[in-house]
Structure 1
Amino acid sequence: MDGRDRRSVQVGPHFSEQAFDFLEELEHRNNREWFEEHKSVYETELKARMLEVIDAINLQLAGFAPEHLRPAPKAMLRIYRDVRFSNDKTPYKTHLAANWPRQGLEKAGGAGFFLQVGVHGVMVAAGAFSPGSPQLHAIREYLLDHHDEMRTLLAHESLVRLAEPLAGRPLIRGPKGFPAEHPAADLLRVRSWALFAQLPGDTALTDGLVEAVVERFRALAPLVNFLNIPLATVTPLEREAAAGRRRA
């Protein structure tokens, strides 16, 4: 069975070879003139298909992470790069991406889910990649009394099987203001609370794409839920819940 026949029997939302041809060419012709000339391909083969993938993921998230549901157009990130503070002035990303933050924490550094799709790989991630100082402090305070629970989460079989070990960009020394000899000392040094899973780029061309992403989101959900407990304390979410305006 050739590639065209194989793709013809796939029914789940996924990407086309034409989408990947577009992204490969974009790597070499990353300019506005080329993009505008081929924008119809972007709209039909990349943007429209990405929105379908997000909708399918949302259907599954409703069952285990309903607080992270997000309309597909809001979940999908723009392909346009922010070049204001970058030496790289190419105007377009060469991948597609989407994120699902916790409702109420979208702009306040909550933990969530992330998907990136490109020719060179599909990246599935979850957690809090770069928490701000107040958020990181709240996580560390919480770990003082809940470090055993975090270690149990990180050691869970499904998470170990489906995601890479936590890298965390740890500090060399313990953070100021926290006990250096605490049982959670190694966890307190962590600066990035995100876990990643890398899949081959060709995964995006199959009807197993959504299933593969959701399987990893499901395994990572307990970590996201754990992190959002302390993260909610440094955002309006907890105050709104206390006032009865939002369910915690």
Structure 2
Amino acid sequence: MARKSANTIESDEAKDPSIGDRKRKQPSTRASQRAATKSRYFEHNTDESGEEAPEDSSSSVDVESEDDSDDEPEEHSSEEEQRPRKRRTPASTKTSQTAPAAGTKGKELWRQGVSTGLAPGTQVIIKKPKPRAAGSTPYSDDTIHPNTMLFLKDLKANNDREWLKMYDADYRSSLKDWNSFVEALTEKLTEIDDTIPELPLKDVVFRIYRDIRFSKDPTPYKPYFSAAWSRTGRKGPYAAYYVQISPNDSFVGGGYWSPDARALAALRNTIDKNPQRLKDVLMNDQMRAEFLSGSSAKGAVKAFIKTNAETALKTKPKGYDAGHPDIDLLRLRRFTVGTKLTDAEVLDAQVLRRIADLFSALHPFIACLNRISLPDPGEEETDADDDDEDGDEEQEAEDEQNEESETEASDA
């Protein structure tokens, strides 16, 4: 049966007006579908007692049809309007939190897997800490700022990569303070020892990163700042000056920490043939006062041996007699001295002068070790001449003694 045209429908409505009224009262098919669909996504109506109210499809349809009265005509509706609409979830709440104090190590909010105690979906915003304020003490090139020591103290208590990332600003400001102090100290040292060149910071300052590949200690950082000066910087075959700062563990020292086989052989050869050359340096007044616990001239050598006894050989070195008078010196495999600095000395305004004075006392010892292990061409010839002069003097003394003996025999 053919459909009626629009004109035919309009003419029928004109003859019988009740047709149009019945049509307007009848709910549209689209409205019924939308009402039925929405009921699956919304909660059932409940009465005041909290029990579910019986469904009333007619009232539900009527509400939907009233809402559709303001919509566009059906023929212009898109497919998206016919899709079921889901209820939106509330937006997540943003909460600002800061990392707990250092006393709760391992439970900071920024650590992975830590329980925050917050509701699911809560976003935590952790602000990156800023460096400590300088306070009433300004930063200076010739001093160590208290914030630098505080950072090293915190690093020792929180020695892991995640913590250092969070407090990178403190690390950068402390490293800058240390580097500026090292530059000022280098200028002083070059005046004391003219064999020390002005090298870039990277050749003098040690990094705080530890090599833990073959270590039982898993901590990734050194809890101190340190630097070493020699003719080739912190690395090389020469004896060096050394400075380290850390809360309750700061000191100044120098010498050969781990000499290679050639340098060690040269030192033992000198101790075997001319031990007084090293002993005279150890018995120096400044050396004994600053680095050998104020020992006497006779006890200076024993104090030096005790300082380096940790790595010494248990037996005699190969090629030397166990009954050698200086066998304890020959057993040494490390030739270093050092003295501790208190935190008060490190933070004192005169710390640069204090360390420079220690370097002055250390200079003869460093120079002696370098002349023995790696002598310059001119120094080697001078030492040989000195040995020849010593030999000539001994020969002259022996000749005079022989002459006196012959004279006494002839008189008899």
TM-score tier after normalising by the smaller chain length: 0.7 to 0.9
Deviations 1:84-138 (Å, cap 9, x if unpaired)? 111111111100000012238933x321111110011321111001223332112
Deviations 1:18-55 (Å, cap 9, x if unpaired)? 222211111121111111121121111x2111112111
Q: Does 1:85 align with 2:227?
A: no
Structure 1: gaps spanning 5 or more residues:
242-248
Q: Which amino acid aligns with 1:91?
A: P
Q: How far apart, in 2, do the equivalents of 1:25 and 1:104 lie?
A: 29
Deviations 1:142-195 (Å, cap 9, x if unpaired)? 222331121111011101111134222233332111234444333212221000
Q: 1:187 aligns with which of 321, 329, 345?
A: 329
Q: How far apart, in 2, do the equivalents of 1:111 and 1:162 lie?
A: 18
Aligned residue pairs, count: 230
Tell me the equivalent position of 1:23.
Answer: 152
Q: How far apart, in 2, do the equivalents of 1:71 and 1:28 lie?
A: 31
Deviations 1:64-90 (Å, cap 9, x if unpaired)? 212223333321100111111111111
Q: 1:104 to 1:141 in 2, by over 3 A?
A: farther
Q: Does 1:168 align with 2:308?
A: yes
Q: Does 1:231 align with 2:373?
A: yes
Structure 2: gaps spanning 5 or more residues:
1-134, 293-302, 381-412
Q: How far apart, in 1, do the equivalents of 2:272 and 2:367 lie?
A: 17
Report the CA distance between 1:139 and its aligned residue: 1.0
Tell me the equivalent position of 1:136.
Answer: 264
Cα contact 1:50–1:76 (8 A) shared by 2: no
Q: Which amino acid aligns with 1:131?
A: P
Larger Rg: 2
Q: How far apart, in 1, do the equivalents of 2:240 and 2:210 lie?
A: 22
Tell me the equivalent position of 1:57.
Answer: 185
Q: 1:77 to 1:187 in 2, by over 3 A?
A: same
Partner SS, residue 263 of structure 2: helix
Q: How far apart, in 2, do the equivalents of 1:26 and 1:12 lie?
A: 23
Q: 1:147 aligns with which of 268, 272, 275?
A: 275
Cα contact 2:205–2:234 (8 A) shared by 1: no
The root-mean-square deviation of aligned C-alpha atoms, in Å, is 2.5
User: Which shifted more, 10-19 or 216-225?
Assistant: 10-19
Q: 2:175 aligns with which of 40, 47, 50?
A: 47
Q: How far apart, in 2, do the equivalents of 1:105 and 1:208 lie?
A: 25
Q: How far apart, in 2, do the equivalents of 1:82 and 1:48 lie?
A: 23
Higher relative contact order (CA 8 A, sep 6+): 1
Partner SS, residue 190 of structure 1: coil
Tell me the equivalent position of 2:408.
Answer: none
Q: How far apart, in 2, do the equivalents of 1:172 and 1:81 lie?
A: 30
Q: How far apart, in 1, do the equivalents of 2:256 and 2:362 lie?
A: 12
Tell me the equivalent position of 1:116.
Answer: 244
Q: How far apart, in 2, do the equivalents of 1:35 and 1:104 lie?
A: 28
User: Which shifted more, 195-204 or 129-138?
Assistant: 129-138
Report the CA distance between 1:57 and its aligned residue: 1.4
Partner SS, residue 250 of structure 2: strand
Tell me the equivalent position of 1:205.
Answer: 347
Cα contact 1:105–1:232 (8 A) shared by 2: no
Q: How far apart, in 2, do the equivalents of 1:110 and 1:57 lie?
A: 19
Q: Does 1:101 align with 2:243?
A: no
